[in-house]
Structure 1
């Protein structure tokens, strides 16, 4: 078991995975003691002025992975749906990321138009990646709860069974917030379950009690950073107080230069 995989197998102690969007945010989080950092596809896309989930950010994602993969933390990269439906191309991307130092990827079945890819198509991507780089932790995500499916729970279970059979090391169900449904899913899957933390859903302690193995923050930190930037500008304009912020030298030090 790889060190990153081991972080998903600590009963009662889920991996809290904060998601960065650039080098500075990742290194700042690592400095706070997070040994594993994820990336947020929304943050990476928005920072580049590109749409999320539309297979538009392959180059930006790989570029960031190459930079972060050299740092002293375990890195998981959000690769959307793999930027293609060709399993061989997704596997080639996975090989490139492993060579860059990446420990895991998040691979989703949601599409830009709000629909879901056929489960067999997504499972083929998972299988191709695991065949090419078996050491890479594949977190297979289903967007059943985000796509407006009329009966999301059984559909999520059906899809996750496909992805597990294809070799997924973990499964991810963003949008699932109802505690009883989370507990049922923990009992149905054979691999670690990842839940997206939301301000209106269960907190970290409750998710741990429910048996969740990994808790991701997704784009939350990026959105919070945007809100803080706008709020700071508004405070300056109105003559209000500006909260404590890192100094120039502190941020410069994050570059490692």
Structure 2
């Protein structure tokens, strides 16, 4: 089974796919080593690590470089492509077709504002035609941005993307259980939400098929690093951590750099 087919099959498992989102090779290797069957990337983590705002399109090259560097990961990888880093559907499709990825995530907002759903549907259709084996997750940013954050608008946009060829729909943001239940019952493709207030077993009962950590792991890693530095500054002992030799061995075994 190809990586793309294996990734798609994970959405049909007995429980929702918990998708952890990495921001570099080391974090992706650590997540794979911990037994996660697939790994995603986080646009915020990738952009912030490079000193680039997530809401700009300046993170394209860093995203592409990471996707290529993760090509040998032992589990399928899905890449967060923000809005595809372009308005032209053909340009977005060419980008996806050139990536060694099992899946991609494309959001229907640019610069923190929703775009016309027809434009995003055109991107989805172009990607579906150019890269039919790639699991295309279409993200609806209504609730995330607090812009037209209602079920009717969200479902209308989601249905357009499914009709255009999306394999899944991602609705991040603060969603109540009733809203999640409507989305999963009304949409004919796997529904993806962000990890947050609702535990995984409850999301399974609501029909969710994928739960992404988004930028949570990256932000938590920043907090943990600052907390350790503060402990040392305050005279406390260093906490336990993954041994240097283990990280080095894992990285050396992976081979380093793009394929």
Structure 1 residue 165 displacement after superposition? 0.2
Contact 2:195 2:211 in 1 (8 A): yes
Corresponding position of 2:158: 160
Q: 2: distance between equivalents of 1:151 and 1:226?
A: 30
Corresponding position of 1:26: 28
Q: Gapped runs of 5+ residues in structure 1?
A: none
Aligned residues: 250
Q: 1: distance between equivalents of 2:184 and 2:81?
A: 24
Note closer, same or farther for the CA distance 1:232–1:165 as it changes in structure 2 (3 Å cut): same
Structure 1 residue 244 displacement after superposition? 1.0
Alignment of 1:69-108 (within 5 A): 69-97=71-99, 100=100, 102-108=101-107
Structure 1 residue 73 displacement after superposition? 0.9
Matched, 1:7 2:15: no
Q: Gapped runs of 5+ residues in structure 2?
A: none
Structure 1 residue 160 displacement after superposition? 0.2
Contact 2:142 2:148 in 1 (8 A): no
Q: 2: distance between equivalents of 1:137 and 1:55?
A: 22
Structure 1 residue 253 displacement after superposition? 1.7
Corresponding position of 1:229: 225
Structure 1 residue 242 displacement after superposition? 2.8
Q: Following superposition, which runs of at least 4 residues in structure 1 exceed 4 angstroms of deviation?
A: none
More off after superposition, 46-55 vs 166-175: 46-55
1:139 match: secondary structure: strand
Corresponding position of 2:244: 248
Give deviations 1:214-238, integer Å, cap 9, x for gaps: 0000000000000000000000011
Structure 1 residue 54 displacement after superposition? 1.2
More off after superposition, 225-234 vs 54-63: 54-63
Structure 1 residue 150 displacement after superposition? 4.4
Corresponding position of 2:124: 126
Q: 1: distance between equivalents of 2:32 and 2:61?
A: 24
Matched, 1:45 2:44: no
Give deviations 1:52-80, integer Å, cap 9, x for gaps: 03111111111111110122110000000
Structure 1 residue 120 displacement after superposition? 0.4
Give deviations 1:171-191, integer Å, cap 9, x for gaps: 000004311110111111010
Corresponding position of 2:200: 204
Contact 2:78 2:105 in 1 (8 A): yes
Contact 1:176 1:182 in 2 (8 A): no
Structure 1 residue 146 displacement after superposition? 1.9
Corresponding position of 1:59: 61
Corresponding position of 1:145: 143
Q: 1: distance between equivalents of 2:119 and 2:238?
A: 50
Q: 2: distance between equivalents of 1:152 and 1:115?
A: 16
Q: TM-score, normalised by structure 2?
A: 0.94
Q: 1: distance between equivalents of 2:236 and 2:152?
A: 51
Q: 1: distance between equivalents of 2:56 and 2:46?
A: 12
